[in-house]
């Protein structure tokens, strides 16, 4: 247990000291909400203020940056440098190493979410409401889906440079097809089944339902199920093919 | 003397390649043991099996009385491994990484004490990526010392360092040896092995082809002295092999190395031959035979190739 706490403290320090990662994961989503919020401040989409629609989308983007992009990049870099090989020569268990790593990405994602909500509400008068527990549950399942997807991506990455490129190549379709910035109705019909299978769309839909319609578990269980499906599938692939060296 | 490492019939195969082929040796507690060999000789695989990272296909390994193949986790508590210096996080401070590693072990030493030992106390609050090559290597060594290990594995501890930094690390290693640590050293520098190691095992093609003290390795190969000759217009190896006082000739590019136990008489002979036959020979020099000569003789390769 002490080892895990030590691992979490160290990973947090490493995260806070990596300026580029810090900018991408924390500052970039804030810049996005400031720009989008300002541009669309007077508009309303699907009958709700645009900011209410955009806030979950930008939270989704921030989640992916913290849990997926940052995960892929940091794991690849540590693997490349032989840090995992060095650690395998100590009694540190790999479960502890991974648990610490994942917890830190999750905490960063939560911190990022809270910041975005605060800015959304304070600056752009975004509405927040509905069942807070469900809101957190959706975020957590989504974070798990993105973290496990990140582990899957590390399998295909050869070095640190390609880690950034590949995770971006996955992040953009997930963001644009996943309804982060515009409603599903805006997508061509033939793409919609694909969009509906994406964890981003499911997360965005569920968050919007909770806030805008006060949906309960009954209204979002399908979205949770699809995201859990991603978690299970990605975990299975990662467990089988993840490379430590 | 207690036995620190006992390896018997160690064998590891990767597909068709016998990476390690029936290797057996014993290392006594407190000894500095060098494992040398060309790249791909099987050194790394052998060391990784002793460290418990890889399981042998066949064979047994005892480390301080622990069966490594069955209790790899207990072994990790009592060994320290120094890898190449890059295998440490960048944006972490020297003191922090020592304490982090200390937390991995059931027993660990205070960070100050370890930093003192490798002369890094002044760098305690510096980030790893601001250290020089020699400092990073000393940090890598410090990380191998956090758990007060009984057996220390050093993987090319001085590679890519300037002479001064190299000497510094050697002094630290000698200090650790005086404290009774068993040290297994893998190095590319022959003179380092000769200077530090009590015994040296030379590996090639997955096997230990020679194992002895550096002095005995040299004398067993009839390699007391070496006369080096540059022979640019192709004086053949065979020509010199026929000379009575020459025990053996090895070739290293344009350089021929004549091994002999009668260096001065041989030199006189060569000077006569040169005048009689109008040979063009350049840069004749005489030196004592070194482990490098033994290595070249046994493996046909230079260590750094």
- In chain B, how many domains are there? 2
Q: What is the pLDDT of residue A107?
A: 95
Best probe of the A interface among B87, B107, B151, by most A CBs < 10 A, is B87
**Residue-averaged pLDDT of chain B:** 87
Residue of chain B nearest A15, judged by CA positions: B91
Q: Enumerate the residues of chain B whose CB falls inside 8 A of the CB of residue A79.
A: none
| C-beta atoms of B88 and A86 within 8 A | yes
Q: Are residues B108 and B173 in the same domain?
A: yes
| A19 part of contact set with chain B, CB < 8 Å | no
Q: What is the pLDDT of residue B244?
A: 83
| A95 part of contact set with chain B, CB < 8 Å | no
d(CA B130, CA B108): 26
Tokens of residue B210, six digits: 């020679």
pLDDT tens sequence across B181-221: 999 998 878 888 888 999 999 998 899 988 999 888 887 77
Q: What is the pLDDT of residue B233?
A: 63
Q: Are residues B156 and B231 in the same domain?
A: no
| A1 part of contact set with chain B, CB < 8 Å | no
Q: Are residues B149 and B254 in the same domain?
A: no
Q: Are residues B176 and B237 in the same domain?
A: no
Kind and range of the H or E element at B198? none
> Does residue B294 fall inside a structural domain?
no
Range of the domain at B234: 222-288
Q: Are residues B195 and B117 in the same domain?
A: yes
How distant is the Cα of A244 from the closest Cα of chain B, in angstroms? Answer: 12
pLDDT at B139 over 70: yes
Torsion of Cα atoms, A12 then A17 then A23 then A24, to 10°: -60
Q: Are residues B143 and B45 in the same domain?
A: yes
Interface confidence (ipTM) of the complex = 0.87
- CATH label of the domain that carries residue B238: 3.30.70
Q: Are residues B180 and B135 in the same domain?
A: yes
Q: Are residues B241 and B200 in the same domain?
A: no
Q: Are residues B207 and B230 in the same domain?
A: no
Q: What is the pLDDT of residue B84?
A: 73
Q: Of B153, B181, B213, which residue constitutes the final position of a domain?
A: B213
Q: Of B149, B181, B213, which residue constitutes the final position of a domain?
A: B213
> Does residue B303 fall inside a structural domain?
no
pLDDT at B303 over 70: no
A45, β-bridge pairs = A48
pLDDT at B305 over 60: no
Q: What is the pLDDT of residue B302?
A: 66
Spatial CA neighbour of A227 closest among A103, A144, A110: A144
Q: Of B213, B232, B263, which residue constitutes the final position of a domain?
A: B213
pLDDT range class, residue B234, cuts 50, 70, 90:
low
Given a contact cutoff of 8 angstroms between Cβ atoms, the answer to whether B252 and B296 are in contact is yes
pLDDT range class, residue B143, cuts 50, 70, 90:
very high
Q: Are residues B100 and B175 in the same domain?
A: yes
pLDDT tens sequence across B160-185: 788 888 888 899 999 999 999 999 99
**Residue-averaged pLDDT of chain A:** 92
pLDDT tens sequence across A77-96: 999 888 999 999 999 999 99
Given a contact cutoff of 8 angstroms between Cβ atoms, the answer to whether B191 and B36 are in contact is no
Write the DSSP string, A13-51: HHHHH-HHHHIIIIIHHHHHHHHHHHHTTT-EETTEEHH
pLDDT range class, residue B90, cuts 50, 70, 90:
confident
> Does residue B130 fall inside a structural domain?
yes
| C-beta atoms of B86 and A78 within 8 A | no
Q: What is the pLDDT of residue A47?
A: 79
Q: Are residues B61 and B181 in the same domain?
A: yes
pLDDT at A1 over 80: no
d(CA A116, CA A110): 10
Q: Are residues B27 and B96 in the same domain?
A: yes
Alpha helices in chain A (DSSP H): 2-17, 19-22, 28-39, 50-64, 70-80, 83-87, 94-124, 132-156, 160-177, 192-197, 199-213, 217-241
Mean pLDDT of all residues in A162-184? 89
Looking at per-residue confidence, does A106 or B155 come out higher? A106
Q: pTM, whole model, 2 decimals?
A: 0.84
Tokens of residue B147, six digits: 């758990």
> Does residue B298 fall inside a structural domain?
no
pLDDT range class, residue B229, cuts 50, 70, 90:
confident
Between A and B, how many residue pairs show a Cβ–Cβ distance under 8 A? 55
How distant is the Cα of B96 from the closest Cα of chain A, in angstroms? Answer: 8
> Does residue B297 fall inside a structural domain?
no
Best probe of the B interface among A85, A90, A245, by most B CBs < 10 A, is A90
Q: What is the pLDDT of residue B257?
A: 85
């Amino acid at each position: 247990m002490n080892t895990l706490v030590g691992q979490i403290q160290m990973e947090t320090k490493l995260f806070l000291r990596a300026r580029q990662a810090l900018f991408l994961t924390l500052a970039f989503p804030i810049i996005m909400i400031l720009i989008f919020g300002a541009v669309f401040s007077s508009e309303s989409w699907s009958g709700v203020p645009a900011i209410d629609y955009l806030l979950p989308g930008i939270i989704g983007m921030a989640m992916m940056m913290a849990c997926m992009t940052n995960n892929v990049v940091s794991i690849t870099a540590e693997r490349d440098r032989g840090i995992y090989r060095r650690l395998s020569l100590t009694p540190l268990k790999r479960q502890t190493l991974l648990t610490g790593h994942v917890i830190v990405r999750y905490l960063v994602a939560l911190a990022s979410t809270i910041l975005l909500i605060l800015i959304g509400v304070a600056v752009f008068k975004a509405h927040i409401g509905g069942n807070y527990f469900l809101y957190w549950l959706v975020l957590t399942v989504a974070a798990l889906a993105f973290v496990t997807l990140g582990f899957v991506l590390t399998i295909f990455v050869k070095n640190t440079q390609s880690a950034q490129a590949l995770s971006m190549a996955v992040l953009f379709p997930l963001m644009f097809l996943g309804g982060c910035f515009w409603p599903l109705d805006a997508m061509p019909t033939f793409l919609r089944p694909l969009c509906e299978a994406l964890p981003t769309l499911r997360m965005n839909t569920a968050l919007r339902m909770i806030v805008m319609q006060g949906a309960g578990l009954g209204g979002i269980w399908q979205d949770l199920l699809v995201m859990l499906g991603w978690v299970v599938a990605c975990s299975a692939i990662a467990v089988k093919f993840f490379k430590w060296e | 003397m207690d036995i620190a490492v006992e390896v018997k019939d160690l064998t590891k195969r990767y597909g068709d390649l016998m990476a390690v082929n029936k290797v057996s040796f014993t290392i006594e507690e407190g000894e500095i043991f060098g494992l040398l060999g060309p790249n791909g000789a099987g050194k790394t695989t052998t060391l990784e099996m002793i460290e418990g990272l890889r399981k042998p296909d066949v064979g047994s390994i005892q480390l301080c009385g622990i069966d490594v193949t069955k209790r790899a986790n207990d072994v990790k508590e009592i060994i320290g491994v120094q890898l190449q210096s890059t295998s440490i996080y960048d944006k972490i401070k020297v003191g922090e990484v020592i304490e982090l590693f200390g937390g991995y072990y059931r027993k660990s030493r205070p960070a100050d004490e370890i930093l003192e030992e490798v002369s890094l106390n002044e760098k305690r609050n510096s980030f790893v990526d601001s250290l020089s090559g020699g400092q990073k290597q000393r940090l890598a060594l410090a990380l191998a010392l956090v758990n007060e290990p009984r057996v220390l594995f050093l993987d090319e501890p001085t590679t890519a360092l300037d002479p001064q930094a190299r000497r510094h690390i050697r002094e630290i290693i000698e200090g650790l040896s005086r404290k009774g640590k068993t040290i297994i050293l893998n190095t590319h520098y022959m003179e380092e092995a000769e200077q530090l190691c009590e015994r040296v095992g030379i590996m090639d093609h997955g096997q230990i082809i020679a194992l002895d003290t550096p002095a005995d390795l040299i004398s067993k190969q009839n390699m007391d002295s070496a006369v080096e000759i540059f022979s640019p217009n192709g004086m053949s190896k065979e020509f010199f092999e026929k000379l009575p006082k020459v025990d053996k000739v090895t070739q290293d590019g344009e350089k021929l190395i004549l091994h002999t136990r009668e260096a001065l008489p041989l030199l006189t002979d060569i000077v006569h031959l040169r005048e009689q036959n109008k040979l063009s020979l350049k840069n004749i020099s005489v030196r004592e035979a070194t482990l490098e000569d033994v290595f070249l003789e046994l493996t046909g390769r230079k260590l750094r190739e």
